[in-house]
Amino acid sequence: MKKIWLALTLVLFIFGCGTQNENLAKGKELIKSDKRRKEERAVREFKLAIQQQIDNAEAHYLLGLYNSQEFYEPNTTDWEEASVTERGKHMFLAYQAEKRKYLERLVFETLRDDDLDIQNAALDALKRVYNQGDRKQLLNQLQKAIKSSDNRDRHNAHWVLGHLGQDDPNTIVPLLVKLLEHGRTETRLNVVKALGETGSEEAIPALAALIESGAARSERDREEPEVRQLAVEALGKIGGTAVPELVKIVENKGSSLRVDAIRTLAVLGDAKVVEPLLDALKEQSNRDVVVPLN
Amino acid sequence: MSREAYAYFSPHLAIGNPKDYINLKGTSMIQKIKRFDKRQCLVSILPILGLPILGLIIVASGCDNQHYDERLQMRVQKLDSDLMNRWSTSGVVVTEVTPNGPADRAQLESGELISYVIAEYPIKTVSDFNDAMKNGLEEDNNFVLYLKDKLPLRVALRRRGDNVGLSVEGSGTVRVKEVQPGTPAANSDIQVGDIVEKIVDERKIYSLDDYKKVLAKLSKQQVTFRTTELIGVKIAAVSALGNLGDVRAIEPLIDIFKNSTELSLRKASISSLQRLVELSVLNDLFQQFQRANVNQLPADSIEPQHLEAAAILELLTVDRTENTATLEAPFGTQFRHRSEALYEKINEGQLAELVQAYIQITVEPEQEIRRACLAILGILKPVSAIDALVTVLDNSAEIPGIRFQAGLTLSQIGEPAVDALIAAFENGDTSTKDIAASALGGIGGTKARDRLIQALENTSEPAIQLTLVDAIAKIGDAPSLQALERQRAQYQADEDSGIRIFLDEVFKNLEQKSM
């Protein structure tokens, strides 16, 4: 009797798996083919696959990846379900079913896609991971990516960290500040950009220190000029609260970043800037000054 | 290799003129080569002298990035390391001047960037000459020789110890005794008997250490600094002030425009002024937001041309479906608080008066500036500028594009300019007639129209006819069209007549428009 039950369960299981896999496999086959509207048809299969097996990681991921509002009439249920947020949700569900695999995939693969919607869906999924999933693991992967030798990974990681920092600067900004010590210049460039994108005033002191390092006594303590230039831009992105720091650069006559700071301030439109700029115009120069010594 | 390869003399004009720095280009290369040599030398000595010296060097180079000069009583600071690479600027910057100290008394100011230290050696004896030459050539192989009644000569040697080829004699008045054949001196404009007045040594400062070293050597009665302008900073500041839309910027910008000797700075300041004038025109719009104290209003509550102008300047976004006009943050939302003051200042009349002086080619040789001034007048529309504008329009020495722009500006002024334009049309050459007619067509109105029609009926000059037809078509009211019909009837028979073809074209366009 026991054996019969076992056999029956096994048959049912195989049968069940078979139908789920069938839709998934069909969808995957379609994607690989050169059939007309293959993605639209594949998406239908992925949806069916999920109906069969609610926690099928791959089906969720592929649905998030390939679904698109272009397939549907606007304002229909299907159309709404193809929004970036919904696609991000599916990618997150894939992560929930298979954490390690899909976290890595999202960070190092999905974000690289040329399609802006896919990038945004991945961002949405990663935000969900940050809030509902294994935050520590996510931050480890993002740090790995921003330290990577591949420019795309660094860029994508900075983008995600910048966004995460907008919502949770208290965690992200200190993490980024620590990364400013990393040996790779390109990593520091991306870290600086991310700090700007957090828009958080918590980032100001670190950026200011970096900018001021240009006149450090030993070369070792001086940050690269390009990183320092980006730090000025980052202050501009932070905006209002960074204005005093930008003004300080304008007032430092020995700084190589005065022009950058002025250009940044011009866009911010703050009236506090007018006086320092007028002072800069009054600076004496291009003349011979004779100083008698007695 | 002959000596010319190692040394050269070149005319050195107008010392103290910023443009003069170009002359220094040739020598900076030599300096770089020499600096490189020095370092190499250091590297080779190091292993021999060992660690004690290394320790000393670290202590010496590890000095602060600031230095207080006790003798001059001022503080100088090292420049950012990348300033040299990015802006080709070297030197030290004065950060603090102690009140009533020597630097302060000489009116050296905080913020000045010292790029050269200049030592001047008056030549009264032969040894004055020899010492000065030795000093001048010792460090950077480069000095300027002043001969009486001649242009200053820059002397530069490629290698230390090379012969300049000059010897002098005399006391009180020192004259050239001999010019050795085959030396650079022989190839320059130096004659035996020339009076040597002085030798000026201009030393470029690269670092704080350079500064200290040069200053320590000069135990003279005085020291002369040449300060450099980071023109990029001022240009950026001027442009930023144009974007900020603050009334406090107007006077300083006018001052730079009128008095600066830097063309790039003048160009930047007039274009900033133009931007401020463009912003001020939108005062009504911004006051609408300001009165309601909001950053968003229904789009249909704002005059369409205001909406368009502000959208072009990227100051607000219009959403037709939502019927909203929203000021762009951060600038738009802040500017509404400042627009009134700016508007009042610009319309005081001072600016209009200033720019009309600069539209004449005889006053302002730079066409970009003349164009900007015309654009400003086109916005401010001062009646007082009409005569000056007609002069530009009628000036055959002016670029055609600018003459046309003057005509356009007059048509922007409108009705008050009609009489002056009619007069210009009657008395001017073909180009003047062309521009004036076109401007009159742009203004329209009975008076302009009747005069244009009358002119068309009385002229047989084909070029003028075409202009007049075009201008009258632009007015396009019933009497204008009747006049054009009459012309067409007159030339109906003439198949090849340019004016007939043109009239056909005009009517075709008019029909299309009315469809």
Taking only the tens place, the pLDDT of each residue in B189-247 is 788 889 999 888 888 888 888 888 888 777 667 788 988 877 888 999 999 999 898 99
Contact assignment for A285 to B240 by CB distance below 8 Å:
no
pLDDT at A5: 66
Q: Would you give the DSSP letter of residue B171?
A: B
Q: Which two tokens stand for residue A136?
A: 């520590």
Q: Which of A213, A249, A256, A260 has the highest number of chain B CBs within 10 A, making it the mutation to test binding with B?
A: A256
B63 has pLDDT over 80: no
ipTM of the shown complex: 0.78
Two tokens, residue B184: 């650079």
Residue B40 banded pLDDT, cuts 50, 70, 90: very low
Cβ-based contacts of A275 with chain B (< 8 Å): 248
Residues B388-400, mean pLDDT to the nearest whole number? 92
The pLDDT score that the predictor gives to residue B455 is 86
Two tokens, residue A14:
């195989």
The domain locations on chain A are 16-133, 135-281
For residue A285, what pLDDT is reported? Answer: 72
CB nearest B118 (choices: A240, A255, A288): A288
pLDDT confidence of residue A9 = 60
CB within 8 Å: A215 and B78:
yes
Q: Please indicate whether, in this complex, the C-beta atoms of B227 and A266 are within 8 angstroms of each other.
A: no
Q: Which tokens go with A266?
A: 């011009």
SS3 string, B367-405, reads HHHHHHHHHHHHHHCCHHHHHHHHHHHCCCCCCHHHHHH
State residue A219 phi and psi, 5-degree precision: -60, -30
Selected residues 22-61 of chain B with any CB under 8 Å from a CB in chain A: none
Instruction: Assign B139 a pLDDT band (cuts: 50, 70, 90).
Output: low
Task: Give A201's DSSP letter.
Answer: G
pLDDT number for residue A2: 65
The percent of residues in chain B predicted with pLDDT above 70, rounded, is 83
Residue listed under structure tokens 């009334």: B247
Q: Say how far apart CA A284 and CA A280 lie, in whole Å.
A: 9
**Which distant-in-sequence residues (6+ apart) come within 8 Å of B45 by Cβ?**
B53
Instruction: Provide the pLDDT for residue A1.
Output: 60
Torsion, Cα B105 B111 B113 B118, to 10 degrees, reads 0
Q: Is B330 on the interface with A (CB under 8 A)?
A: yes
Task: Establish if B336 touches chain A: CB-CB under 8 angstroms.
Answer: no
Inter-chain CB proximity A278 and B338 less than 8 Å: no
Across the interface, whether the CB atoms of B18 and A289 are under 8 A apart is answered no
Compare all CA atoms of chain B with the CA of A276 and give the residue at the minimum distance. B237
Instruction: State how far residue B103 is from chain A, nearest Cα, in angstroms.
Output: 6
Q: Which residues of A touch B59 (CB under 8 A)?
A: none
Å from B13 to nearest chain A CA? 15
- Pinpoint the alpha helices (H) of chain A: 2-32, 38-52, 57-66, 77-81, 84-97, 99-108, 116-132, 135-146, 151-167, 169-179, 185-198, 204-212, 225-238, 243-251, 258-268, 274-282
**Which residues of chain B lie closer than 8 angstroms to A265, CB-CB?**
240
User: How many CB atoms neighbour CB A140 within 10 A?
Assistant: 13
What mean pLDDT is predicted for residues B340-353? 90
Residue in this structure with the two tokens 């993490």, named with its chain if needed: A175
- Give the residue from B116, B117, B234 with the most A CB atoms within 10 Å of its CB, the best one to mutate: B234
CB pairs under 8 A between A and B: 181
Q: What is the pLDDT of residues B273-282, one digit of tens each?
A: 999 999 998 8
- Rounded Cα gap, residues B114 and B110, in angstroms: 11
C-alpha pair distances (Å), A75 with each of A80, A87, A120, B211, B476: 6, 16, 20, 72, 49
Percent of chain B with pLDDT over 90: 24
Q: What is A11-45 written as a DSSP string? A: HHHHHHHHHHHHHHHHHHHHHHS--TTHHHHHHHH
- How much is the pLDDT for B220? 64
For residues B326 and B301, give the distance between their C-alpha atoms in angstroms, rounded to a whole number.
Answer: 12
Question: ∠ CA(B407), CA(B409), CA(B414), 5° rounding?
Answer: 95
Residue of A nearest to B248 (CA): A274
Interface subset of A 188-247, CB within 8 angstroms of B:
214-219, 222, 225, 228, 239-240
Whether residue B228 and residue A286 make contact (CB cut-off 8 A), yes or no, is yes
**B261: nearest CA in chain A?**
A286
Query: What is the mean pLDDT, run by run of 10 residues, along chain A of 294 residues?
Result: 62 50 86 86 90 90 92 90 93 92 94 94 95 93 94 95 95 95 93 95 93 78 88 93 93 86 90 91 82 78
Picking from B106, B246, B338, the nearest residue to A290 by CB comes out as B106
Residue B385 confidence (pLDDT): 92
Q: Do residues B222 and A290 lie in contact, with contact meaning Cβ atoms separated by under 8 Å?
A: yes
The partner residues of B166 in beta bridges, in order of sequence, read B179
- The pLDDT confidence band at residue B187, using thresholds 50, 70 and 90, is confident
Whether the CB-CB separation of B246 and A274 falls below 8 Å is answered with: yes
Average pLDDT over residues B89-101: 88
Confidence band for B13, pLDDT divided at 50, 70 and 90:
very low
Question: Is the C-alpha dihedral spanning B245, B249, B255, B256 positive or negative?
Answer: negative
Looking at residue A194, its pLDDT comes to 96
Of the candidates A217, A240, A262, the beta carbon closest to that of B236 is on A262
Inter-chain CB proximity A278 and B108 less than 8 Å: no
Taking the C-alpha atoms of residue B333 and residue B335, their distance in angstroms, rounded to an integer, is 6
Confidence of residue B328 (pLDDT cuts 50, 70, 90): confident
Contact A290 B113 (CB under 8 A): no
The CATH number of domain A135-281, selected from 1.10.357.10, 1.10.600.10, 1.10.3720.10, 1.25.10.10: 1.25.10.10
Q: Is B222 on the interface with A (CB under 8 A)?
A: yes
Considering only the beta carbons, identify the residue of A250, A282, A289 that sits closest to B225.
A289
Query: Helices B51-61 and B25-49 sit at what angle, rounded to 10 degrees?
Result: 140
Q: Which two tokens stand for residue A195?
A: 């700090």
- The answer, yes or no, to whether residue B37 has pLDDT greater than 60, is no
Compare CB distances from A262 to B221, B222, B240 and report the shortest one's residue: B240
Greatest Cα-to-Cα distance within chain B, rounded to the nearest angstrom: 106
Greater confidence, A72 or B30? A72
Instruction: Answer whether 0.80 is exceeded by the pTM.
Output: no
For B219, the token pair is 């135990």
Tens of pLDDT along B464-499? 888 888 889 888 888 888 888 888 888 777 777 777
Question: Are A256 and B335 inside 8 Å of each other by CB?
Answer: no
Q: Picking from B37-46, B139-148, B300-309, which range would have the lowest pLDDT averaged per residue?
A: B37-46
Contacts of A256 in chain B (CB under 8 A): 79-83, 86-87
Q: What is the pLDDT of residue B77?
A: 86
Which residues of A are less than 8 Å from B112 in CB distance?
253, 283-285, 289
CA distance B407 to chain A (A): 34
pLDDT in tens, B427-447: 888 889 889 989 999 998 888
B83 in reach of chain A (CB within 8 A): yes
Region for residue A239 given its phi and psi (left: phi exceeds 0; alpha: psi -120 to 50; beta: otherwise): left
Q: Chain-wide mean pLDDT for chain B?
A: 80
The answer to whether the CB atoms of A273 and B244 lie below 8 A apart is yes
